[in-house]
A and B are shown apart, each in its own frame.
Chain A
Amino acid sequence: MSHWTFILASYALTALGTVGLTWWSWASMRSAERQVEDLRNDR
């Protein structure tokens, strides 16, 4: 049983979870803040 299979799986899942969560949080923030800017410009 190669330990590297388990190591790489752990790192890949951590990278996927962390990058996915960061991207999702950033996209939600940008979208919400853009809505505020749009409303401010429409006024």
Chain B
Amino acid sequence: MQTLANPARFLKIARPLTPVLGWGGALLIVGALAVGLFVAPRDYLQGESVRIIYVHVPAAWLGMGGWTGLAIASFMQLVWRHPLAAIAARAIAVPGAVFAALCLVTGSLWGKPTWGTYWQWDARLTSMLILLFLYIAYIALDDAERERGGEGRIAAIFGLVGAINIPIIHYSVEYWNTLHQGQSISFLRASSTVDASMLWPLLVSAAGFSLLFGAIVLMRMRAALARQKVEARLRRYS
């Protein structure tokens, strides 16, 4: 981890890695979504609407995974003052918010044909909406802090505290009676109630979106590092 603490060393790895993750992710997404739309079977209960799973579940995982990454980066920023940790946390916030929003919108579009409603104030949907608000609050707080010349430490503390919402989202379908279905896939128990014909395009889609998410975070980190370099040089010249 300390090896990557050096921005020059980080860039040496990030430059070739960005297109690999980006194009690799795009190819996997296109393939998985084509299979999800035209090859995977319809569900015996939900009918064709089950095809929304191939975009909804990866978006949900990335919305939650994004905040987990943001919290880890915030922890590293606060404890080890890792120079890239703050940049990484900030780079994750916007894509995390976009995927949390996509999860809510696609879930809502899935809810109408299956539940008969776009929205229900149940535990899973509400905790996911709170995650989106947390992302927006983090972005606003970090921007405000930096405009005042701060290092983003208050935003980092917020990032850590906000992580409490992740297990709440995860276990919301177990602790409360919700309209949302229970957990279908468990990586810890390596088990799934989803049929293999639907599971593999879902996992490929999730892998593709995850790679693309990684590429987006690297692009945003590279942009932030370049901006820092420009500001430092301009300060030196003036």
> Using a CB–CB distance below 8 Å, which chain A residues touch chain B?
1, 3-4, 6-7, 9-11, 13-14, 17-18, 21-22, 25-26, 28-29, 31-33, 35-36, 39
A-B contact pairs, 22 of them (CB 8 A): A6-B110, A6-B112, A7-B49, A10-B105, A10-B110, A11-B37, A14-B102, A14-B106, A18-B29, A18-B98, A18-B212, A21-B98, A25-B95, A28-B220, A29-B223, A29-B226, A32-B222, A33-B223, A36-B229, A36-B230, A36-B233, A39-B233
Interface string of B85-124 (1 = CB under 8 A from A): 0000000001100110110011001101100000000000
| CB of B227 closer than 8 Å to a CB of A | yes
- Identify the closest chain A residue to B49 (Cβ): A3
- Identify the closest chain A residue to B58 (Cβ): A14
> Using a CB–CB distance below 8 Å, which chain B residues touch chain A?
22, 29, 33, 37, 47-49, 51-52, 55-56, 59, 94-95, 98-99, 101-102, 105-106, 109-110, 112-113, 209, 212, 215-216, 219-220, 222-224, 226-227, 229-230, 233-234
Q: Is there an interface contact between A21 and B95, defined as CB atoms closer than 8 Å?
A: yes
Q: Is there an interface contact between A6 and B226, defined as CB atoms closer than 8 Å?
A: no
CA distance A10 to B48 in the complex (A): 13
Which listed residue, A3, A10, A22, touches B56 by the CB 8 Å rule? A10
> Which residues on the B side are within 8 Å of A13 (C-beta)?
102, 105-106, 109
CA distance A13 to B110 in the complex (A): 13
Q: Is there an interface contact between B95 and A10, defined as CB atoms closer than 8 Å?
A: no
Which listed residue, A10, A17, A29, touches B98 by the CB 8 Å rule? A17
Q: Is the interface of A mostly helix, strand, loop or mixed?
A: helix
Q: Is there an interface contact between B222 and A29, defined as CB atoms closer than 8 Å?
A: yes
Q: Is there an interface contact between B230 and A35, defined as CB atoms closer than 8 Å?
A: yes
- Identify the closest chain B residue to A26 (Cβ): B219
- Identify the closest chain A residue to B112 (Cβ): A6
CA distance A18 to B233 in the complex (A): 33
Q: Is there an interface contact between B219 and A7, defined as CB atoms closer than 8 Å?
A: no
Given the known inter-chain contacts A21-B98, A29-B226, please indicate yes or no for A10 contacting B233, CB distance below 8 A: no
- Identify the closest chain A residue to B209 (Cβ): A18
